[in-house]
Amino acid sequence: MYDNINIAIIGYSGHSLVILDAASEAGIIVTSYCEKDEKSFNPFNLKYLGDESSEHFDWNIVSSFILGVGDNQIRKKLAALITSEGKQLTTIAHPSARISSMAKIGLGNFFAMNCVISAFARIGNNCILNTACVIEHECHIFDHVHIGPGAILTGNVTVGESSFIGANAVVKQGVKIGENTVVGAGSVVLQNIPSNEVWAGNPARKIK
């Protein structure tokens, strides 16, 4: 799948380091990175390509990109930029991630260590499924979603585009969460949540 593809990562700090570690564990070779400025801390010995947003950036030197940015809105913009340049988005899955063969998986996703994607779950494009999260049967995760470490989505949960589910949150079976919505860490979600809201608590309630 990854043979003879020149892969670069956009972003080289924080979240991107976790992705690069997973890629290394999976035997995927990432050759370079893009940032506004060259990094002095370069633990994976990557080549600096420059700023992908610069008008002088040479898109011809890379075949595929990994998005190493945690912010949903920034990732969404970067994904649109990359695809507009005719380049691929690469999915990275840590070897310990358990992804059902019956799940439907999009492009450019990151499946972190020990995450679980169960049967007939649907994962869109450009999503982060973080460490030890559980996406149970028939859940539908739309594009650009970030599921935090240890979060549990019980069966048939829907999460709309660009939403964020915080670490260790639990979402009850059948709940629908709208677009651009934030669920705080440790929350217990027992009811549907509209788009463009922030919910937190046990049970979760609207706070913004």
Task: Indicate whether 9 pLDDT > 60.
Answer: yes
Q: How confident is the model at residue 6 (pLDDT cuts 50, 70, 90)?
A: confident
Q: What is the mean pLDDT of residues 142-162?
A: 98
- Annotation says 137 is catalytic: yes
Q: Cα separation of 100 and 10, whole Å?
A: 28
* DSSP letter string, 19-43: HHHHHHHTT--EEEEE-SS--S--T
> Which overall architecture, per CATH, does domain 7-90 show?
3-Layer(aba) Sandwich (3.40)
For 208, the 3-state DSSP assignment is coil
Q: Which two tokens stand for residue 124?
A: 């869109």
Share of the chain above pLDDT 70, in %: 98
Check residue 87 and give its pLDDT: 92
Q: Cα separation of 103 and 141, whole Å?
A: 11
Task: Indicate whether 1 pLDDT > 50.
Answer: no
Cα dihedral 147, 149, 150, 156, rounded to 10, equals 10
Q: Cα separation of 65 and 86, whole Å?
A: 11
Check residue 90 and give its pLDDT: 94
Q: What is the mean pLDDT of residues 47-73?
A: 93
Q: Cα separation of 24 and 205, whole Å?
A: 40
Domain ranges of the chain: 7-90, 91-197
* DSSP letter string, 67-123: E----HHHHHHHHHHHHHTT-EE--EE-TT-EE-TTSEE-SS-EE-TT-EE-TT-EE
What does pTM read for this prediction?
0.94
Q: How confident is the model at residue 208 (pLDDT cuts 50, 70, 90)?
A: confident
For 16, the 3-state DSSP assignment is helix
- Choose which CATH entry (3.30.1300.10, 3.40.50.2300, 2.40.30.10, 2.160.10.10) describes domain 91-197: 2.160.10.10
Check residue 5 and give its pLDDT: 59
Task: Indicate whether 76 pLDDT > 90.
Answer: yes
Half-sphere exposure of 167 (CA within 13 A, CB side): 2
Report the chain's mean pLDDT, rounded to a whole number: 95
Task: Indicate whether 168 pLDDT > 80.
Answer: yes
Q: How confident is the model at residue 3 (pLDDT cuts 50, 70, 90)?
A: very low
Q: How confident is the model at residue 46 (pLDDT cuts 50, 70, 90)?
A: very high
* Active-site residue, selected from the candidate residues 137, 140, 144, 146: 137
